[in-house]
Structure 1
Amino acid sequence: MTTEAIPSPYARRVLAALGRDPTRVVLHRPDTTVTAGALRASVLGSAALLHSQGIRPGTTVAILTGPNHPLMLSARYAVHLLGATSVYVRSMNPRTDTETFSVATQTGLLRDLGVSLLLVDEADEESAARGRWLARRRPGLTVRAIPRTADGHDTVPPALSPSPDDLAVVDFTSGSTGRPKMVAQRYGTREHLVGRLASGLDPRGPATLLSVTPVSHTTAPMADAVLCAGGTVVLHDEFDADATLTAIAELGVTDVYLAVPHLYRLLDHPLVTSYDLSSLRRITYSGTPAAPERVRQAVRVFGDVLIQVYGTTEAGGISSLTPLDHREPELLGSAGRPFPWVRVEIREPDSGTPLGRGRSGEIWINSPTVSAGYLDDAELTAATYRDGWLRTGDLGHWDRYGYLRLDGRVGDVIKHGGLKLDPSAIEAALLKHPQVRQAAVFGVRDEDLVEQVHAAVELHSGAGHTSCDLRDYVAATLTPEHAPLSVSIWPELPLTPTGKPDRTRLRGATAPIRIRPTPKTPRTEPRPPTEATTPLPSPGDPVPLPSPGDPVPLPSAGGPVPPPSTGDRVPPLPADGSASLPSPGGPVPVPLAGGPVPAPRADGLAPLLPESGPAPPSPAGGPAPSPSAGGRVPRLPAGGSVPLPPAGGPVPPPLAGGPVPLPRADGVAPPLPESGPAPSPSAGGPVPPLTVGGSVPLPSPGGPVPVPLAGGPVPAPRADGVAPLLPESGPAPPSPAGRGPAPEPVEGRGAGPPGHGGFAGADVRRSIEPRRRTDPRNRKGIP
């Protein structure tokens, strides 16, 4: 415990700086300016009022004004001149001051802090009305207006100077129960913060600080340091990209503090490069990790003025990434190196044992800027503040360059399928995608209370990637287990008052989804090969067609066909020669090789084939439609030879049992012999002419094979002999007789949440479990 008084408190240094040139403008507002003399008079008048109310060290004064109002500074400086404690009760340590505490929350805070005096701005209708409400709800509370003039008081009232251990400020930070936690900051800590910031100001001249976040919280010591050094502060109620760029250009702003989303908004402003930003010396940004690509963009736009700060309300600043660090691509994405006055250790979260470089653990810090604890929670204080060290609750590790890397939060994991998945790792993977601006990952329990991974993203302007693309991207970047079950696309991600993605709101906008296991097909012998495990055929091996009744999925138009297995031969054709068109994914019967397909009827539908005999010829050069389900193909002629199809007609399958040789080295399919096996053409190459009695080649394994639409026409080959791809739309194929309806197509595109252009419902979600089992490529990181 230190009882020695602070020799020159920062509030007295501010007052002395204001007295040097009373006519100088020290505060800028969008609608007004305040001179040094006017601010000094308001501070002295407020100090006299507080002294008359018995305010002294150990008492607490609450302040309630509009966002970033000059009177808030007047009241705080007056409180600190008398060595008392100040608390701003409008909002919680936010990036915006427009979201205020409720009357009930404010009443509870005033009660818990033992506040007897509330200072308000009587000219602000909202603050004055709220003060009257609080006075009725809190017996014994006195409400007074903040003086705008000195009212004849030209000196500071006689008062004891505060000691370093006296309580200077009570800040608020979010709590897990929804009630704000009260963070206590001592005068010694406050003096250290202001002193460090003042000594770090650019020596080229007085600074002009732009505060677009509440000057009652994060930027408060920054403003104090600038005013102590004779600088100017520009106050905006909240962030607006146009207003920020205009202020920098017109008022010669040298320093600005931004939350990461604010920095992104500036970068996305269409006219950002047309403003005169030459006065900028420092852009400090913090709050959430920034995407490396966006930081590189910021360096290109703003130059070597960027400083990233990692810190917390309880600790103050912990580490920083300097302007020179921003020029090193390997360092982007890190939290930088600790400040010289900060000690950082990485410890095992449960035992507190220090860990070596490269190992991830909880970040512990020791610093003179650490707060005194939580006023309303002794148990939490004992668990968080240990032997002079602060447990931040953040996970991190040292990289090979000695820079701090953040890995998420202790306990902030998604437990899915026996795995613990770190949301920050998935967010980092999404942010690596060039079209993702911001990302938030969170867990949602489904109907079975199983926690599933969900994500919400904000894309760059004009980006058209869907949730399906991003799920596969995460699976390839990390593992299939990390892939979100759904990804919703938002025009702008909702943010909390602290400037971080609002996961509570995102969870509320995400419907729970249960992954239902895919029914297994009963195993039959021989077991059909899978795409991932079937080897390519060796030269000269026979390539079979699928056996009747085997399930074979239809490939997409122009897509690759999985290679067949080796060793089997094509089974004999059915005696009756019947063949029907399968539905997608259904069993594929082997059609009889043979004659051409008849021309379509006048109504565009394919007629049934005759029971026997040759089929009517197709019009010369015209397309031949696919046979309808249930139609018959004529029997093979004696000898098993296959007649040539008419122009535009389908190519019949090869004779049963015929081996297919490999193509020549130059990729050209060799001519067919008069009899015997037919060679396999190269992928995409011309189809060789057929000869009477010759067998027809199959496409090479993995080559593109167009799939005709059921009931639709088959286009004629091009003049160069290459088979054209078929259109991707058209009538759905009929289901074979007796096999039920064809399965419905699955929509794969994502949409936004309710109120933002749609909702990522069940149509954009899928189970990744079947894919994980059947596609081992995902284990190799292939997208």
Structure 2
Amino acid sequence: MEQSPVSRRVMNLAYWLTQNARRLPNRPALVWREQTWSWTELDARVSALASVLAAKGVAPKSAVLVHSKNSNEMLESMLACFRLGAVWVPTNFRIMPDEIVYMADVAQPRVLLCQTDFPEHAAAVKAARPDTDILWLVGEQAAAADYPLLADLLQERLGTHMEDAPVESDAACWLFFTSGTTGRPKAAVLTHGQMAFVITNHLCDLLPGSTERDGSLVVAPLSHGAGVHQLNMIARGGQTVLLSTERFDVDEAFELIERHRLSNMFTVPTVLKLMVEHPAAQQRDHSSLRYVIYAGAPMYAEDQKRALACLGKVLVQYYGLGEVTGNITVLPAHEHEADGRPGTCGYERTGMQVSVQDDEGNELGNGQTGELCVIGPAVFAGYYNNPDANAQAFRNGWFRTGDLGYRDAEGYLYITGRASDMYISGGSNIYPREIEEKILTHEAISEVAIVGVPDPKWGEVGIAVCVCYAGHQVSEAELLAWMAERIAKYKLPRKVVFWDALPKSAYGKVPKRLVKDELERRGVVLASAAPAAASKDGARRAAH
């Protein structure tokens, strides 16, 4: 029996702020540098900011582009957009001016909120879209006189009450731009209804038992996964604590955890590795931590063991993409065992279903490697104004992640790599991750990334880029000989190079694209080979 819904109206996400201001008026909501805002104060500032935006013509469904490092104003802008029923469009603050112009062309914002540290970005948007109003957010640089300072306009409107706008379940609240590893970023549409499920699921599967007495340290840009994670604390009335600057300082991170008795944080494996290997991990009290959530990339088994030894059983892993809002699998703290299931990213999240599929969309059996595809309420509403990308991303209702992996007999999932990371050498599919895991068991190797590069004889061969621990060294010949005793011959990298560090994205990941670019820049890989490699990567991504 079919029946049309009587109503599709849902809670506006900003209502969490409304609730907290009523129930927890004086508890700390946000801490940045030496300033703390209570829930009453944060609610008042968000209403004032929403009033400023409304006066600039921002209405339900309007887009507001935000280019800023983490700050109180960055988080306030998210909640103000939600309150108005508008669409928050945050950027990666490290992008170039031409890239923000591209994002503005896609989103068509009514207003750009731009931190004063980025005058070139504001100028580029204004030149390309003269009708866009620009307001300065407070940064390290003084504000230029060409645009008003949001803080001044907000101060004038403090005391203005703004109701949470009525919204429907499919009303967009956030354009989440992907990282653009295979071309220009795409704008994933996140909605009020979807995000309410996502946060409920996060609290159920990642942060069970969270209350207003919990607190979270933000070590990543609020524009992406960290922003989603902070909504967990907002939903529960817990406090959010920001690092003082965009530069990740391990000493400061542990000092803030100790000072505020913070119970959780969200990060990526490379940053977690930095933290547990830093002297501050032994010098500071981090016993308040209950959940250290890591995602964004699989964590190597050796790094996971070190983190468990340092922090205890507080690690929570999840696997997810921006398009599924970090909501595909979970490996909770009690299942992080050194002798457990090495390499697993956990099991399906509550309300979500994963299918391992072949190139034709047929479901594969246990132990068979294929593309991980997913359905469930956390899946985004599609790419904004991009029907071609939507057609490629969905098949028979399943969202295609582009990640390769398999399921074991008990339902635990294992990621073997991105479809684009796999390379074909002598007709055999090579998955770098399993080789990287082996190399990381060598006592001298701290980090490693293996990429496939074109080869006239074998089609492609692997190059291993390694970083040694301080005070350790090993030669290429020694490491290759060591690998030969542990890795099948056809999987062995053809060459090993040693660098001081691996290139990382703004979010602390190690994209293989950046590794390939750096190999080319250093002359290890000929530039003339790059187009062939790129075309093969593109063909694989289309095939998977």
Same fold by TM-score greater than 0.5: yes
The correspondence for 1:393, drawn from 387, 393, 402, is 402
For 1:767, the equivalent position in structure 2 comes to: none
Matched residue type, 1:184 = V
Matched residue type, 1:49 = V
Determine the C-alpha separation between the residues in 2 that align with 1:475 and 1:417: 18
For 2:122, the equivalent position in structure 1 comes to: 131
Determine the C-alpha separation between the residues in 2 that align with 1:260 and 1:31: 29
Structure 1 position 463, deviation (Å): 2.3
For 1:12, the equivalent position in structure 2 comes to: 15
For 1:585, the equivalent position in structure 2 comes to: none
For 1:103, the equivalent position in structure 2 comes to: 97
**1:167-186 maps to which residues of 2 (within 5 A)?**
167-186=172-191
For 2:237, the equivalent position in structure 1 comes to: 230
Determine the C-alpha separation between the residues in 2 that align with 1:293 and 1:393: 26
Q: Which moved more, 1:308-317 or 1:456-465?
A: 456-465
Tell me the TM-score normalised to structure 2 length: 0.86
**RMSD (Å), alpha carbons:** 2.7
Structure 1 position 328, deviation (Å): 5.1
The correspondence for 1:432, drawn from 407, 432, 441, is 441
Matched residue type, 2:220 = T
Distance 1:214 1:163, change over 3 A: same
Determine the C-alpha separation between the residues in 2 that align with 1:28 and 1:355: 48
Matched residue type, 1:217 = H
Determine the C-alpha separation between the residues in 1 that align with 2:8 and 2:247: 37
Structure 1 position 362, deviation (Å): 0.9
The correspondence for 1:75, drawn from 57, 77, 98, is 77
**1:451-462 maps to which residues of 2 (within 5 A)?**
451-462=460-471
Structure 1 position 80, deviation (Å): 0.9
For 1:113, the equivalent position in structure 2 comes to: 107
Structure 1 position 245, deviation (Å): 1.2
The alignment of Structure 1 onto Structure 2 pairs a total of residues equal to: 504
Determine the C-alpha separation between the residues in 2 that align with 1:2 and 1:51: 31
Preserved contact between residue 174 and residue 190 of structure 2 (Cα < 8 Å): yes
Preserved contact between residue 402 and residue 419 of structure 2 (Cα < 8 Å): yes
Structure 1 position 440, deviation (Å): 0.5
For 2:481, the equivalent position in structure 1 comes to: 472
Equivalent position SS for 1:104: helix
Preserved contact between residue 344 and residue 413 of structure 2 (Cα < 8 Å): yes
Point out the structure with max Rg over C-alpha. 1
Determine the C-alpha separation between the residues in 2 that align with 1:403 and 1:312: 18
Determine the C-alpha separation between the residues in 1 that align with 2:19 and 2:438: 51
Distance 1:325 1:159, change over 3 A: closer
Preserved contact between residue 97 and residue 120 of structure 2 (Cα < 8 Å): no
Preserved contact between residue 3 and residue 163 of structure 1 (Cα < 8 Å): no
- Cα deviation per residue 1:535-567 (whole Å; 9 max; x = unaligned)? xxxxxxxxxxxxxxxxxxxxxxxxxxxxxxxxx
For 1:311, the equivalent position in structure 2 comes to: 320
- Cα deviation per residue 1:66-119 (whole Å; 9 max; x = unaligned)? x11111121221111121111013x1xxxxx5xx22111111211222222222
For 1:539, the equivalent position in structure 2 comes to: none
- Cα deviation per residue 1:640-661 (whole Å; 9 max; x = unaligned)? xxxxxxxxxxxxxxxxxxxxxx
Distance 1:63 1:443, change over 3 A: same
Preserved contact between residue 467 and residue 487 of structure 1 (Cα < 8 Å): yes
Structure 1 position 508, deviation (Å): 4.0
Preserved contact between residue 3 and residue 165 of structure 1 (Cα < 8 Å): no
Preserved contact between residue 24 and residue 237 of structure 2 (Cα < 8 Å): no
Preserved contact between residue 201 and residue 349 of structure 2 (Cα < 8 Å): no
Preserved contact between residue 198 and residue 225 of structure 1 (Cα < 8 Å): yes
Tell me the TM-score normalised to structure 1 length: 0.60
For 1:667, the equivalent position in structure 2 comes to: none
Same amino acid, percent of matched pairs: 26
The correspondence for 2:367, drawn from 358, 362, 383, is 358
Q: Which moved more, 1:445-454 or 1:473-482?
A: 445-454
Structure 1 position 339, deviation (Å): 1.1
Structure 1 position 396, deviation (Å): 0.8
The correspondence for 2:335, drawn from 325, 331, 339, is 325
Distance 1:152 1:465, change over 3 A: closer
Unpaired stretches in structure 2, ≥5 consecutive residues: 136-148, 526-544
Determine the C-alpha separation between the residues in 2 that align with 1:2 and 1:438: 53
Determine the C-alpha separation between the residues in 2 that align with 1:130 and 1:241: 30
Determine the C-alpha separation between the residues in 2 that align with 1:493 and 1:181: 26
Matched residue type, 1:224 = L
Determine the C-alpha separation between the residues in 1 that align with 2:497 and 2:354: 37
Tell me: higher relative CO, structure 1 or 2? Use CA pairs within 8 A at least 6 residues apart.
2
Distance 1:219 1:22, change over 3 A: same
Equivalent position SS for 1:244: helix
Preserved contact between residue 170 and residue 183 of structure 1 (Cα < 8 Å): yes
More helix, by proportion: 2
**1:320-719 maps to which residues of 2 (within 5 A)?**
320-327=330-337, 329-348=339-358, 350-446=359-455, 450-510=459-519
Structure 1 position 134, deviation (Å): 2.0
Preserved contact between residue 96 and residue 121 of structure 2 (Cα < 8 Å): no
Matched residue type, 1:266 = M
- Cα deviation per residue 1:609-661 (whole Å; 9 max; x = unaligned)? xxxxxxxxxxxxxxxxxxxxxxxxxxxxxxxxxxxxxxxxxxxxxxxxxxxxx
Preserved contact between residue 474 and residue 480 of structure 1 (Cα < 8 Å): no
Matched residue type, 2:47 = L
Q: Does 1:286 find its partner at 2:295?
A: yes
Preserved contact between residue 211 and residue 238 of structure 2 (Cα < 8 Å): no
Matched residue type, 1:143 = I
Structure 1 position 26, deviation (Å): 2.2
Preserved contact between residue 48 and residue 153 of structure 1 (Cα < 8 Å): no
Preserved contact between residue 194 and residue 377 of structure 2 (Cα < 8 Å): yes
Structure 1 position 372, deviation (Å): 1.3
For 1:195, the equivalent position in structure 2 comes to: 200
Distance 1:2 1:480, change over 3 A: farther
Structure 1 position 263, deviation (Å): 1.0
Structure 1 position 160, deviation (Å): 4.2
Structure 1 position 153, deviation (Å): 5.5
- Cα deviation per residue 1:27-52 (whole Å; 9 max; x = unaligned)? 22235333334322221111112222
Structure 1 position 492, deviation (Å): 2.0
Determine the C-alpha separation between the residues in 2 that align with 1:474 and 1:401: 31
Equivalent position SS for 1:373: coil
Equivalent position SS for 1:242: helix
Preserved contact between residue 52 and residue 157 of structure 2 (Cα < 8 Å): no
Structure 1 position 133, deviation (Å): 4.0
Distance 1:158 1:318, change over 3 A: closer
Determine the C-alpha separation between the residues in 1 that align with 2:122 and 2:431: 44
Determine the C-alpha separation between the residues in 2 that align with 1:50 and 1:204: 32
For 1:146, the equivalent position in structure 2 comes to: 150
Matched residue type, 1:178 = G
Equivalent position SS for 2:515: helix
The correspondence for 1:62, drawn from 53, 60, 65, is 65
Distance 1:209 1:159, change over 3 A: closer
Equivalent position SS for 2:11: coil
Structure 1 position 161, deviation (Å): 0.7
Distance 1:295 1:176, change over 3 A: closer
**1:2-41 maps to which residues of 2 (within 5 A)?**
4-41=7-44
- Cα deviation per residue 1:400-449 (whole Å; 9 max; x = unaligned)? 44311111222432222333322223222222334322211112235789
Distance 1:156 1:189, change over 3 A: farther
Determine the C-alpha separation between the residues in 2 that align with 1:31 and 1:158: 30
Preserved contact between residue 212 and residue 238 of structure 1 (Cα < 8 Å): no
Preserved contact between residue 181 and residue 513 of structure 2 (Cα < 8 Å): no
More strand, by proportion: 2
Determine the C-alpha separation between the residues in 2 that align with 1:8 and 1:447: 59
Distance 1:241 1:282, change over 3 A: same
Unpaired stretches in structure 1, ≥5 consecutive residues: 92-96, 512-752, 762-783
